[in-house]
Chain A
């Protein structure tokens, strides 16, 4: 598949720079996205006050917003994938999230399985557990057809990583596949909804 070149996706030069992910976690809430496990990214917004403002406006807004997403690869960054998130309503902003395929691939995997990502503003050293109620924005990741590309890309990079750690070619491929399977097993966790279980019991 031929990939398109994205050049006009951002309005300001600072929006084109990937925002650093300083911490991550996974959140599963009853009644939100069917209880799926969704990755949470704490972003270093020290030089991006517009992201802090975006999160604040989202908190005050009565209606849910609109967002466009696009998976991409940054030029010259062979070991990572990027997610261009363009917020349209209620506030406009573009955020580029860059994920290292080997180290942060689990976040991409989780975002594709959970079909969403939470973002939270923060600084270096911040952790979710310190303040779980800090404002965050949840945006959905629709099916863009990226999963197929991701599967082969992730497998290739993981196999290369395992080879660099001393495994043979076949072993590295097997280890890569096993890692992906394990990640998916963890990622497919869903928080059971007791109301739903009750209603199902009543129906039966």
Chain B
């Protein structure tokens, strides 16, 4: 029997088969690794492509609402970040107000940011220095902070109940970035007691 084994190993055909199996296994391993590398490369290029898609990140730092005779004033201190690899611009900022009609049907209206309101007495707390003047440039990986001020005439929503408000920013590619529904603090004129 040991003699037969020796003869088997001495046979070159056996060695050729063994080498073929080893090479085939090696090739299979290599192709598996190549596939893994290709998948990772695809994921990286997809994430790079994703970073080239225009979008804004909006963070709300502060917000208020003030009731006046004929209108309501809304002020939002926000920071807008551009996490993408492309330069962009904020073209338009709007407040999207959803209110309830009869029969639980909701209606939505949009009010544009009006920087001129920041200088008025009713908005004295906002000041004029930090108010967004649109359109404004926002480069890649840059963040801007400032106030957005909106005036909603009573004639528009009359006595209806406001359901939610969100801020919408439109960029130069026509892409909209929207916040979650915002909560605002109501500001009233109060005289401090001394």
Contacts of B107 in A (CB 8 A): 50, 53-54, 57, 91-93
Which residue of B has the minimal Cβ distance to A89?
B110
**Count of interface residues, chain B, beta-carbon cutoff 8 Å:** 16
A57-B156, A60-B155, A61-B156 known; A92+B105 contact, CB < 8 A: no
Sampled A-B contacts (5; CB under 8 Å):
A49-B101, A49-B105, A60-B155, A88-B110, A91-B107
Chain B, range 87-121, C-beta contacts under 8 Å to A = 94, 96, 101-103, 105-112
Identify which of B110, B112, B153 contacts A92 (C-beta below 8 A): B110
Instruction: Judge if A90 is at the interface, Cβ distance under 8 Å.
Output: yes
Give chain B residues whose Cβ lies under 8 Å from the Cβ of A49.
Answer: 101-103, 105
Distance in angstroms between the alpha carbons of A57 and B155 in the assembled complex: 8
Report chain A residues within 8 Å CB of B110. 88-92
Q: Is the interface of B mostly helix, strand, loop or mixed?
A: strand
Q: How far is the CA of A88 from the CA of B107 in the complex (A)?
A: 12
Question: Which chain B residue lies CB-closest to A65?
Answer: B110
Chain B residue numbers with a CB within 8 Å of A53 are 101, 107
Contact A90 B111 (CB under 8 A): yes
Pick the residue among B94, B102, B105, B109 that contacts A91 (CB under 8 A).
B109
Nearest residue, chain B, Cβ from A51 = B107
- A92→B106 CA distance, assembly (Å): 10
CB-based closest 3 A-B pairs: A92-B108, A60-B155, A91-B109
Question: Are A60's CB and B105's CB within 8 A?
Answer: no
B102 touches A57 (CB 8 A): no
Bound state CA distance, A22 and B84, in angstroms?
A: 50
Contact with A along B135-170 (1 / 0, CB 8 A): 000000000000000000101100000000000000
Docked Cα-Cα span, A50 to B96, in Å, equals 16
User: Which B residues are CB-close (under 8 A) to A93?
Assistant: 107
Q: State the CA gap A120–B155 with chains docked (Å).
A: 20
Chain A, range 55-91, C-beta contacts under 8 Å to B: 57, 60-61, 63, 88-91
